Structure 1
């Protein structure tokens, strides 16, 4: 699957826009497979802790500052007797509660199953109350590279420093591939989505789901598209949105009707240049709620910003690179990229080992190279998974997690 699709012709008329280097540090996932993507998803956990959902069904929990890690087996390869097909163990989606308790609740999904677990560090309650884990903590800005590259007889990430217990485990809850799970602000409800449906769960039980959205009705009208991502609004407890390969973001409210009610829709339109060639691909792979009124979307080569109060007017459209016709005959057309934000600044990856940074406050755009990844157009150089927590940016490439402390906003 990996390889070079095109070369300089693919990035036709590529613009060199303020390309600088983020000084990233990294750690490797301890799995041996050089042919597949190692990371299924990543999520910020607590302070400088990161959750990595791996393709082998393992959840890796790492505290990058305290040199602690834990590997927790979540899923094994399974077989669906009803559909007569294998269920891969790869963790495709996860979300965790936003509280800062001694135990964190994490929801995880593979292709068809959802599991809820509780994770905590191996320490006593007294140690937790005294915050002993912070006594010897060194600022991430002062952490030296040799901490993670030091040649010793034992790997500093070998020892498990976390323990977990399974709370709920529900199988074959979706017929198609689960691509998203999301908790609302109060942690009361959980939504899960596959390619065609979105279901609602009570997060404290997971006994039975309630279907909110089924796009099969729209497919009967001749349209062919799927749901790419679903998430709750971080600023409204009852509003959730989903994006599609048709270039739409649809917002629904679960308090208006029992099966939720559609409140607004945003459209990302394909555009062409003067030679009638496509300049923007409309399939939306991810989106984020910037505040109560603004939404940012990510397609393969574009970031768009919309205002909920004026759905027909796009506030900003930022091209990440120009494309030519060769992209439509390559596997690159199917690549999906996550987008994250902090204080109005958007961060998203590329297929050339770069992070695109878009400041929505000043409407400024630039790119940052990630040291350690080749700056060539290859799928294996892609940075598709990205998240931010407490001023630290995390991104994944193959079996490496890169992280850096973001500069304060000026």
Structure 2
């Protein structure tokens, strides 16, 4: 344990902390209560039903399987060898601690497409959902982009270096590696299926030529190493060229193996597997700024792990009541502070955010700061508790602010002011009158994510109808853009869209009654050092770049 970890109190958790073991209460009535609370339906009568609005009926989202890249059994994907212009990124630490200045995202609202990948092909019955994208994440340099899907696969895209013959080629991302991260499992003690869906992916800072990332499903976290190999050893003494063993008594000379070039191979190998520490579903993982530890959060507990230790973790937050019938809230998201490795934050289904300091005690059962916006009694309704549940929380790159996303809005909080947010941006306020229909079709329980720009001057989050919203924190301007195949054509630019809530609709506007709620953007990511964004629209990944770059 380094002196940095001891100074910040992390060492206390690994020396005196409480070991996290799976506890009772994960099945039966407790599991039912937990599932109801996670969906916002605990101890609530259903709202009055009404006839469906005119229009086309609700449909299941289309999904199917994408053609997989050529992959070996060990998870290594091959690609042709050629003149490589790749340079390994340096100064990752510097980028992390001092985010670079990036071009202002609103000097031009013309975002141009840099790629569109269909991660699945539609099936005849439309019931194959295994390849729907479930998470998107840039690495610290922005040269790699990882996506996870419901089929347990991880696809990594690499940004192409600028070519002299094609000066505008930089910004294009191509498939770099594809591997199977998780497989479906079955818990025989609880008679519960554990699906292979990738819930979160988090990159580790690059220390050498290889890249490392953490991926997790509901129960198991894995540390993966992504490396390249373009040479192989030949000329062994006890093996021939086909790999067959030779008779050692027939050897007449001692040969020294030599390295010969081969087609470039990208290998993905699991280095650590962190399992058997969570009774409930994992919803968040976050790497600490000390680069040695990370946290994982489920519905009721948050555990602290060391990257080199897989057989034990330490419970730092536990909100499980003695009687599960008294359960009133669950943990929805958690994240470490980007610079202070003793500080982390977690949100709840009640719309509250708690900031904890691990130096105070081994078990952070008492928070250091409590963030909550008072509710207006006049606007309270049946859906108030559901739409106030926080689905995502993110620290800014500077560490001064944090951003939370609930169902209808994005809020920016100053860490020095707990009483109310400093900014509130309405994402799709026009849906407030549609909450009853959204409740009946379970769309009200969708978990939208949010992200910061590299300079913290803008924020982005998703919406329905393949719309995503961008907000400028300085000018208070906002724009609604659409991710679609029509907009992903070469030399095209995204045009702002507007939703009409009533009255006469203009030609370029779309009526709120014609929104497609099966097309939704839940996962977004922003390049850490430039105006490049990645948007996951169900089974498609769109990458856009600002035209001024």
Q: Which TM-score applies when normalising by structure 2?
A: 0.60
2:194 aligned residue (75, 87, 94): 87
Unaligned runs of 5+ in 1: 9-19, 125-158
Unaligned runs of 5+ in 2: 1-51, 56-108, 161-172, 232-262, 488-509
User: After superposition, where does 1:15-30 map in structure 2 within 5 Å?
Assistant: 22-24=111-113, 25-29=115-119
Does residue 403 of the first structure (1) align with residue 543 of the second (2)?
yes
Q: Which moved more, 1:161-170 or 1:27-36?
A: 27-36
Go from structure 1 to structure 2 and tell me whether the alpha carbon gap of 1:224 and 1:76 turns closer, same or farther (over 3 Å shift). same
- 1-side partners of 2:54 and 2:305: how far apart? 46
- 2-side partners of 1:269 and 1:381: how far apart? 32
Does residue 296 of the first structure (1) align with residue 391 of the second (2)?
no
2:391 aligned residue (279, 285, 293): 285
- 2-side partners of 1:28 and 1:268: how far apart? 40
What corresponds to 1:205 in structure 2?
309
- 2-side partners of 1:308 and 1:30: how far apart? 41
- 2-side partners of 1:274 and 1:179: how far apart? 30
SS in 2 for 1:328: helix
What corresponds to 1:366 in structure 2?
479
- 2-side partners of 1:272 and 1:319: how far apart? 19
- 2-side partners of 1:30 and 1:183: how far apart? 30
User: After superposition, where does 1:321-332 map in structure 2 within 5 Å?
Assistant: 321-322=428-429, 323-324=432-433, 325-326=435-436, 327-332=438-443
- 1-side partners of 2:350 and 2:380: how far apart? 23
1:32 deviation in Å?
Answer: 6.2
- 2-side partners of 1:98 and 1:274: how far apart? 45
- The answer to whether the 8 Å contact 2:374/2:420 transfers is no
What corresponds to 1:40 in structure 2?
134
1:383 aligned residue (495, 516, 521): 521
2:363 aligned residue (256, 259, 267): 259
Go from structure 1 to structure 2 and tell me whether the alpha carbon gap of 1:337 and 1:215 turns closer, same or farther (over 3 Å shift). same
- The answer to whether the 8 Å contact 2:202/2:214 transfers is yes
- 2-side partners of 1:319 and 1:7: how far apart? 27
SS in 1 for 2:518: helix
Go from structure 1 to structure 2 and tell me whether the alpha carbon gap of 1:286 and 1:6 turns closer, same or farther (over 3 Å shift). farther
- 2-side partners of 1:7 and 1:265: how far apart? 44
- The answer to whether the 8 Å contact 2:483/2:537 transfers is no
Go from structure 1 to structure 2 and tell me whether the alpha carbon gap of 1:279 and 1:96 turns closer, same or farther (over 3 Å shift). same
1:365 deviation in Å?
Answer: 2.4
SS in 2 for 1:205: coil
SS in 2 for 1:47: coil
1:43 deviation in Å?
Answer: 1.1
1:103 deviation in Å?
Answer: 1.0
- Greater strand proportion: 1
- 2-side partners of 1:7 and 1:301: how far apart? 24
Structure of greater Rg: 2
Does residue 339 of the first structure (1) align with residue 450 of the second (2)?
yes
Aligned-pair RMSD on alpha carbons? 3.1
- The answer to whether the 8 Å contact 2:228/2:264 transfers is no
Go from structure 1 to structure 2 and tell me whether the alpha carbon gap of 1:173 and 1:230 turns closer, same or farther (over 3 Å shift). same
What corresponds to 1:112 in structure 2?
219
1:268 deviation in Å?
Answer: 4.1
- 1-side partners of 2:319 and 2:486: how far apart? 39
What corresponds to 2:419 in structure 1?
312
SS in 1 for 2:117: strand
- The answer to whether the 8 Å contact 1:268/1:282 transfers is no
Go from structure 1 to structure 2 and tell me whether the alpha carbon gap of 1:407 and 1:308 turns closer, same or farther (over 3 Å shift). farther
- The answer to whether the 8 Å contact 1:68/1:161 transfers is no
SS in 1 for 2:443: helix
- The answer to whether the 8 Å contact 1:71/1:160 transfers is no
What corresponds to 2:81 in structure 1?
none
What corresponds to 2:273 in structure 1?
169
Count matched residues: 362
- The answer to whether the 8 Å contact 1:271/1:279 transfers is no
Q: Which TM-score applies when normalising by structure 1?
A: 0.79
